[in-house]
Amino acid sequence: MSNPKPNFEYPQGFYSNYHSQKPICGVLATAIASGVIYDVAHEACKKAMADLYPKRQRFGGKTTTAQRELAMTRLGVKFERTNIVAKKPKLIDAVKDFEPGIIYLVVTPKHISAILDGYLIDQNRLQRIELVSFASKRVSEITKITGKGW
């Protein structure tokens, strides 16, 4: 029996035809984890970049783990990093241990995606994890969203 598609959608203010080719996967993941509109997450990530890296002048959308975590903390998100990455599993194998109904942020080489109930969402797609082109890539980091705090 296949899992029904979860209530997992793009945040308000995200336009796939405009944003899909831009390096904004971290901002989108922050918006999804926080439950805020895209522009609020963008500003939170931009402010986090300015605070963490004061010499950087422009924010184009690329984020680091430190930026995302600071932005999510400021947006009231409760989260924890899992220790599964010690094994460096493939994405398709890592999702087998995910709890249902919980959003996970998963970092693969040069990319971050949000995953809920076997579905992956990023700036290019919302589809079952088995159908994603990079399902065999190694996972370098997994963050479990435990609460939104507001």
Does residue 1 lie in a domain region? Answer: no
**Assign residue 13 a region: left if phi > 0, alpha if psi is -120 to 50, beta otherwise?**
left
11 within some domain: no
pLDDT for position 47: 93
The confidence score (pLDDT) of residue 46 equals 92
Average pLDDT of the residues in 30-55: 91
Residue 115 CB coordination number (10 Å): 24
Give the per-residue pLDDT at 61: 78
The residue that leads in pLDDT, 125 or 16, is 125
Please, which pLDDT band fits residue 112 given cuts at 50, 70 and 90? very high
- Amino acid at position 79, single letter: F
Share of the chain above pLDDT 70, in %: 88
Q: 12 versus 105: which is more confidently predicted?
A: 105
Helix (H) or strand (E) holding 46: helix 38-52
pLDDT at residue 39 greater than cutoff 50:
yes
Provide the number of structural domains found in the chain: 1
Q: What is the pLDDT of residues 48-87, one digit of tens each?
A: 999 998 888 788 778 999 999 999 999 999 999 887 767 7
Give the domain extent around 63. Answer: 16-147
Check residue 1 and give its pLDDT: 40
Bridge partners (DSSP) of residue 127 are 120
Q: Where are the beta strands (DSSP E) in 11-140?
A: 78-81, 104-108, 111-116, 119-121, 126-128
Beta strands in 7-147 (DSSP E): 78-81, 104-108, 111-116, 119-121, 126-128, 141-147
Instruction: Examine residue 7 and state whether it is found in any structural domain, yes or no.
Output: no
CATH code, domain with 47 = 3.90.70
Residue with tokens 């507001």: 150
Q: What is the pLDDT of residue 40?
A: 93
In a domain, 85, yes or no: yes
- Looking at the domain assignment, is residue 104 inside a domain? yes
Q: Tell me the pLDDT of the chain averaged across its residues.
A: 85
Q: Is the pLDDT confidence value at 115 over 80? A: yes
Lowest mean pLDDT among 8-12, 83-87, 115-119: 83-87
